[in-house]
Amino acid sequence: MADEITEELKAKVLEFFKQKKKMLTSRDVGTAFGLDHATAKKVCSELVKSGALEFTSFGGATFIKLPDGS
């Protein structure tokens, strides 16, 4: 898959988080969508920057989740 981040990809990743209803890592996203780690991380970071997702730390690891109340 190309390294460009499309609005369609962002929408799919956001829907993935809504379906899973749990904390995930960027590697989980990469595996689910066939993306390399750097691209998956970039998609997640853009969604966090927009406020659609948020980073959280748990047990020394960083996870990504839907904001509380979503």
pLDDT along the chain (70 residues), means of 10: 77 94 93 93 95 91 86
Give the DSSP H or E segment for 35. none
Q: Do residues 63 and 55 make contact, with C-beta atoms less than 8 angstroms apart?
A: yes
Q: Which amino acid is at 35?
A: L
Question: What global pTM score does this model have?
Answer: 0.85
pLDDT at 14 (0 to 100): 94
pLDDT at 70 (0 to 100): 59
Q: What is the token pair recorded at 47?
A: 């969604």
